[in-house]
Amino acid sequence: MILIADGGSTKADWILLDTSGEVVLKTRTGGLNPAVFSTDLMKNRISENAEFNTYKEKITEVYFYGAGCGTEKPTALLKSLFESFFINAKVEVKEDTYAAAYAVTSKPGIVCILGTGSNSCYFDGEKVDVRIPSLGYILMDEASGNYFGKKLLRDYYYNKMPKKVAALFEEQFNVDADTIKRNIYKEDNPNTYLATFAEFLLRNERTAYYNKVLRKGIVEFFENRILTYKECEEVPVHFVGSIAFFGKDIIEDVANYYKIVLGKVVRRPIDGLIDYHREKLKLEEV
């Protein structure tokens, strides 16, 4: 059996395939980003999943594509964690940019992630090339959930939100200053916490303010994470993630402005990963 996962900071989607490529199980755990979560927390999120305990000894291959897996140390940590739990499995851990690339194309293109965090890469059809390492939610992550969460909180406290928007923001979130500071500076997973505020842009009716905020973040992402690839003039640019999915109209406008060909925009890459691994199974059978 083959276990496939697309893991972010907020959540990880898991699919279990049998040897013929049929889906046996779909499940979800909390996020498993080794750059921001403790090993004990990630162990608990795996071991507490009852469905994993049912199948763990039957699983022979684990493919985990995750946020925070772009360098050797966190990748090795997760690999060791999975090997200790799925005791009969060969484990492969790759950065989430691979999941995004496999989900949208088999041809050369630039692939972008706009979810809790953000990233981009050049995909040559086989390998991912991340030319600008991500420095995470404090220094980078333009147009991500945590980026927009920070922007909304600043606008609210600096009284830059229109009054009606600010009133709605107060209704939907706890905006007590002490609560916000505690969650950001003392609690675990501040990036995930900040990203929850970005839901405000996605679940409410668009206004001029919302569009302005979204456009500013997306323009910054294009300038820092797409235009820096010379290939952007030659290949399509694909997007994966909830922010990208709900902000597709603005992404289209910005892409047109910069004369960039927009490729696929996919909310969740897990379905594309299923197809990718099914194709691998077919090739192995030949």
What is the model's pLDDT at position 19? 85
What does the block give as tokens for 10? 């907020």
| Spatial CA neighbour of 116 closest among 198, 38, 46 | 198
- Structure-model confidence comparison of residues 23 and 71, the more confident one: 23
Q: What share of the chain is helix, strand, coil (3-state, %, to 5)?
A: 50, 20, 30
Dist. CA 218–CA 16, nearest whole Å: 34
Beta-strand runs (E) in the chain:
2-7, 11-17, 23-30, 61-66, 90-95, 109-114, 118-123, 128-129, 237-240, 262-266
On the question of pLDDT at 70 being above 90, the answer is: no
Residue 278 has pLDDT above 70, yes or no: yes
Task: For residue range 155-205, list pLDDT tens digits in order.
Answer: 999 999 999 999 999 999 999 999 999 999 999 889 889 999 999 998 888
* Side-chain-facing half-sphere of 203: CA atoms under 13 Å: 8
Q: Are the beta carbons of 168 and 152 closer than 8 angstroms? A: no
Q: Name residue, tokens 């059996």.
A: 1
Mean pLDDT of 22-44: 91
State the average pLDDT for the chain: 92
pLDDT, residue 286, reads: 44
Q: Does residue 281 surpass a pLDDT of 80? A: no
Cα(229)–Cα(248) distance, integer angstroms: 21
Three-state DSSP at 273 gives: helix
CA distance 281 to 135: 35
Structure tokens at 281: 């199974």
- Within 8 A by CB and 6+ apart from 255, the residues are 222, 237, 261, 262
Residues 22-32 pLDDT 10s: 999 999 999 99
Q: List the domains of the chain with CATH numbers.
A: 2-96+269-285 (3.30.420.40)
User: From the centroid of its chain, how far is CA 217?
Assistant: 16
- Rounded Cα distance between 88 and 62, Å, is 10
